[in-house]
Amino acid sequence: MEILLTGATGQLGSDLKPLLIKEGCGVQAFSSSSLDITDREKVFNAIADNKPEVIINCAAYTKVDLAEKERERAFAVNRDGAKNLAEAAQKTGSALIHISTDFVFDGKKSTPYMETDKTNPLSVYGESKLEGENEIVKILKRRIIIRASWLYGVEGNNFVKTILKLAGERESLKIVFDQAGTPTWTYDLAGAVVKIVNDLKAGKKEYGIYNYSNEGVASWYDFAEAIVDEAKGAGIKLNCGSIEPILTSEYPTPAKRPAYSVLDKRKIKAAFDIAIPHWRRSLKEMIKELCRKNGGRGA
């Protein structure tokens, strides 16, 4: 199957590209610099030239706090870029797999969010991603939108690497404990995307919106504690001896974040027969991989 992959050098794209190649797919991979999805003409030309059966969009503006200042840029990438890809896909008959976010929800529920729950983003980032979803839904029938949460990977910048860096420099950390969600390793999400691609290849066309994250629930505080524990277990030297839980109100940020963004994943598991590992198990494996890459060091 011929694939066109955008955002190929980001966290998810870096994990996804080799898995697709391993599955025997022909992959035309574009970084965000080699294909700016906000440039409609370049998007149309790239898709017309490559004629992919499936487009996978991993390109996104993900600087949640900076988006509050850079609203136009966030919407250009997350809404207009998604629209460009959908229109180009419609023209060539390609299917589109698009990665979205749990930030389309406001976090006011206390039970896991289903795909049918009302959206109400609290931030510019969440708004821009939701509008991207809406554009795709209006334009293209052959589309799979995956709402993912709390992504981290071996490549790129993320919470795991930030905690490892800070824990190496400081004796103590203060981390928010009243926001709950599920940390998600990009390698696991990449595996789920590959499973979906294989099902599309086999003629199974379960188009729609899906949730994906690892299993389990954690606060950012829980996540930070686990990162430090797993890192020490992997032999990474850290200075941090304690982590203090704090309220969101004690650590104000430009963008509001949902207090609860745990996702219900029954739909994606049933549609594509996907087994999802617990977040703690995946974190352990990611830190091992990070150590292998960095010669025994963490971030």
Q: Are strands 26-30 and 2-6 parallel, antiparallel or unpaired?
A: parallel
Report whether 258 contacts 179 (CB < 8 A): yes
C-alpha to C-alpha distance for 54 and 194, rounded to whole angstroms: 11
Inform me whether the pLDDT recorded for 299 exceeds 60: no
Q: Tell me, which fold does domain 2-157+184-215+259-277 have in CATH?
A: Rossmann fold (3.40.50)
Question: For this structure, is 125 an active site residue?
Answer: yes
Check residue 85 and give its pLDDT: 97
C-alpha distances in angstroms, 163 versus 102, 123, 152, 221? 22, 23, 12, 11
Q: What is the pTM of this model?
A: 0.94
Cα dihedral across residues 16, 189, 103, 136: positive or negative: positive
Q: What is the pLDDT of residues 229-250, one digit of tens each?
A: 999 998 888 988 899 999 999 9
- pLDDT level of residue 297 (50, 70, 90 thresholds): low
Check residue 205 and give its pLDDT: 85
Check residue 241 and give its pLDDT: 84
Catalytic residue among 61, 113, 125, 221: 125
Check residue 294 and give its pLDDT: 77
Which two tokens mark 126?
């969440």
Which two tokens mark 146?
């995956």
- The domains of the chain are located at 2-157+184-215+259-277
Residue 142, helix vs strand vs coil: coil
- pLDDT level of residue 204 (50, 70, 90 thresholds): confident
Nearest CA to 268 among 37, 114, 64? 114
Q: What is the pLDDT of residues 150-197, one digit of tens each?
A: 999 999 899 999 999 999 999 999 999 999 999 999 999 999 999 999
* Polymer length of the chain: 299
